């Protein structure tokens, strides 16, 4: 198999720079995690507090969507370089998913 | 180049998961699978939403009467945390720190097992109440949706454990870096699906 990557040994300065870059990225991911926990808490609290269904449903669906975007873009690195094709796969999948849910939910409307 | 070639932190590529052609192919193929899985779960969600609280007339179980939030909240926090611990594992993978990566993967597996244990407890509890798989259209749709997610958790755990054991003596190289990376991606995807399950099935179920 093709494992023919040319080996490149980084200079000390470049190595230190990359390490710093990675720990900065890790801090950013910790922030996303804190936001996800916070959004989950809001969703559960709203339901436990017993607000009107018509208020809760759109808000918790929106919170779920935000959480998923954070997972995809920060934890799964969808925003990184070289992720264009796979982002296209994922968005096509989500589009089909949306149509499927819409169709089966409306078919039992009456 | 030998696939078992040893690397140091300074010669380790910046993106080891896509540094080889094999890694690149796995990466694209795996995301294609995740897109297909999105559609699979969408069909299960759609079925559940269409059949929610439906069944034979006089059915005693409804989502509002059955689900309890404290257990679901605990499961959600555990799975969300396990998603973060696998991010830590991949952080150490990129720094070529094999031991730290194995340790964080171990924590991820423990959290995943706790989640799975709670899910088995929950299903067992429902079955003892009389809400079995064949009880109603609602129960079948519920068990298929949440059970398929649980099967994914089980598969993800087996995948992590197999990778950890098989590579325990090998250390990190170009052969296994893409494998670890994809297993972590799969684990994040499982968490993405759970976000929709706790929102659509449990939270929207409790409010009726």
Per-residue pLDDT at A3:
52
Q: Name chain B contacts of A33, Cβ cutoff 8 Å.
A: 80, 83-84, 87
Interface of B with A in 16-55 (CB under 8 A): 18-22, 27-28, 31-32, 34-39, 41-43, 45-47, 49-50
Q: Does A52 touch chain B (CB under 8 A)?
A: no
Q: Name chain A contacts of B18, Cβ cutoff 8 Å.
A: 82
Per-residue pLDDT at B198:
96
Interface of A with B in 88-107 (CB under 8 A): 89-90, 92-94, 96-98, 100-101, 103-105, 107
Q: For B37-55+62-206, CATH number?
A: 1.20.120.80
Q: In Å, how far is B199's CA from the nearest CA of chain A?
A: 7
pTM equals 0.93
Whether pLDDT at B151 is above 60: yes
Whether pLDDT at A2 is above 60: no
B89 vs B56 pLDDT, higher one: B89
Helix (H) or strand (E) holding A15: helix A12-49
Contact B11, A10 (CB under 8 A): yes
Domain boundaries defined on chain B: 37-55+62-206
Please give the Cα distance from B200 to B165 (Å, whole number). 37
B207–A94 C-beta distance less than 8 A: no
Per-residue pLDDT at B83:
96
Q: In Å, how far is B198's CA from the nearest CA of chain A?
A: 9
The length of chain A, given as a count of residues: 110
Q: Does B159 touch chain A (CB under 8 A)?
A: no
pLDDT digits (tens, 9 = 90+) for A59-109: 999 999 999 999 999 999 888 888 899 999 999 999 999 999 999 999 887
| Residue-wise DSSP of chain B | --TT----TTTS-SSGGGSSHHHHHHHHHHHHHHHHHHHHHHHHHHHHHHHTT-SSTT----HHHH--HHHHHHHHHHHHHHHHHHHHHHHHHHTT-HHHHHHHHHHHHHHHHHHHHHHHHHHHHHHHHT--TTS-HHHHHHHHHHHHHHHHHHHHHHHHHHHHHHTTTT-S-TTTHHHHHHHHHHHHHHHHHHHHIIIIIIIHHHT-
pLDDT digits (tens, 9 = 90+) for A11-33: 889 899 999 999 999 999 999 99
Whether pLDDT at A45 is above 80: yes
Contact B153, B109 (CB under 8 A): no
Whether pLDDT at A4 is above 60: no
Q: Name chain B contacts of A43, Cβ cutoff 8 Å.
A: 198-199, 203
ipTM: 0.90
Number of A–B residue contacts, CB under 8 Å = 157
């Amino acid at each position: 198999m093709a494992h023919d990557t040319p080996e490149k040994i980084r200079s000390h300065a470049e190595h230190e720079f990359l390490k710093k870059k990675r720990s900065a990225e890790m801090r950013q991911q910790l922030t996303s995690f804190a936001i996800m926990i916070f959004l989950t808490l809001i969703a559960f609290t709203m339901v436990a507090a017993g607000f009107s269904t018509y208020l809760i449903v759109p808000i918790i669906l929106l919170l779920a969507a935000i959480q998923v975007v954070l997972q995809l873009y920060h934890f799964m690195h969808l925003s990184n370089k070289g992720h264009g094709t796979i982002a296209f796969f994922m968005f096509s999948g989500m589009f089909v998913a949306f149509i499927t849910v819409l169709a089966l939910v409306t078919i039992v409307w009456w | 180049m030998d696939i078992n070639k040893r690397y140091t932190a300074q010669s380790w590529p910046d993106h080891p998961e896509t540094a080889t052609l094999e890694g690149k192919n796995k990466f694209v193929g795996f995301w294609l699978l995740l897109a297909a899985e999105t559609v699979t779960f969408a069909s299960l969600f759609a079925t559940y939403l269409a059949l929610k609280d439906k069944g034979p007339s006089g059915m005693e179980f409804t989502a509002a009467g059955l689900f309890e939030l404290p257990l679901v909240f605990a499961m959600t926090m555990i799975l969300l945390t396990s998603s973060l611990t696998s991010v830590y594992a991949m952080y150490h993978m990129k720094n070529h720190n094999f031991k730290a990566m194995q340790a964080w993967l171990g924590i991820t597996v423990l959290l995943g097992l706790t989640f799975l244990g709670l899910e088995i407890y929950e299903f067992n509890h429902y079955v003892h109440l009389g809400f079995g798989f064949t009880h109603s259209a609602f129960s079948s749709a519920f068990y298929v949706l949440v059970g398929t997610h649980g099967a994914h958790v089980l598969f993800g755990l087996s995948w992590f454990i197999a990778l950890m054991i098989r590579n325990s003596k090998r250390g990190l190289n170009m052969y296994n870096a893409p494998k670890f990376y994809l297993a972590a991606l799969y684990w994040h995807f499982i968490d993405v699906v759970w976000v929709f399950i706790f929102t659509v099935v449990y939270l929207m179920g409790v409010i009726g």
